[in-house]
């Protein structure tokens, strides 16, 4: 039986017990996945909301944050580079994460162009903000008000963790 949880849980965690080489709970993800990895072109990642532990997942052509991503959809993303900008292509659909011009994050484009450009900005306490271009500014990608969708806003970016798989 395959576990549907993303991470194994230590019953008595120590105060500073963050393990970069922690085994992911499901055999689907693989025991050698590297937590808190630095996003880099050519590598494949699971991208998690660091606070909630939910993965950016493609389900039936739509993005959603899922805690049980291995059972619901595709949660692996290849990081690519174009003109110095990062892009994230879903491994199952081949579509690039980007925004629709109305500040909603989606993954429908076959090419990595301006509204699929991202910057991964390191955060002082770990993780990264993902910023995307919108005309002459960078917007922060964050969890939408519904708790599952993704949006791009000037304020309130979500801290993301990259797990290299």
How many whole angstroms separate alpha carbon 32 and alpha carbon 21?
A: 7
Q: Which two tokens stand for residue 95?
A: 């579509």
Angle (CA) 127-129-131 rounded to 5° is 155
Q: For the chain, which domains are there?
A: 44-164 (2.80.10.50)
Under the banding of pLDDT at 50, 70 and 90, the label for residue 82 is very high
Q: Which two tokens stand for residue 140?
A: 């922060």
Q: Where are the alpha helices (DSSP H) in 26-150?
A: 69-72
How many whole angstroms separate alpha carbon 122 and alpha carbon 60?
A: 31
pLDDT digits over 33-64, tens only?
A: 898 999 999 999 999 999 999 999 999 999 99
Place of tokens 């692996």: 76
pLDDT digits over 109-131, tens only?
A: 999 999 999 999 999 999 999 99
- CB–CB of 56/162 below 8 Å? no
């Amino acid at each position: 039986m395959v576990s549907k949880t993303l991470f194994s849980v230590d019953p008595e965690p120590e105060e500073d017990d963050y393990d970069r080489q922690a085994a992911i709970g499901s055999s689907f993800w693989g025991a050698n996945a590297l937590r808190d990895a630095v996003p880099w072109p050519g590598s494949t990642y699971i991208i998690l909301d660091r606070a909630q532990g939910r993965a950016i997942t493609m389900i039936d052509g739509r993005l959603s944050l899922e805690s049980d991503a291995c059972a619901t959809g595709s949660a692996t993303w290849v990081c690519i580079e174009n003109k110095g900008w990062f892009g994230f292509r879903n491994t199952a659909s081949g579509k690039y994460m980007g925004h629709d011009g109305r500040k909603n994050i989606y993954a429908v484009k076959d090419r990595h162009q301006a509204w699929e450009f991202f910057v991964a900005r390191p955060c002082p306490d770990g993780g990264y903000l993902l910023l995307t271009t919108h005309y002459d500014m960078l917007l922060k990608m964050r969890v939408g008000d519904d708790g599952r969708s993704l949006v791009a806003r000037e304020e309130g970016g979500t801290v993301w963790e990259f797990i290299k798989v």
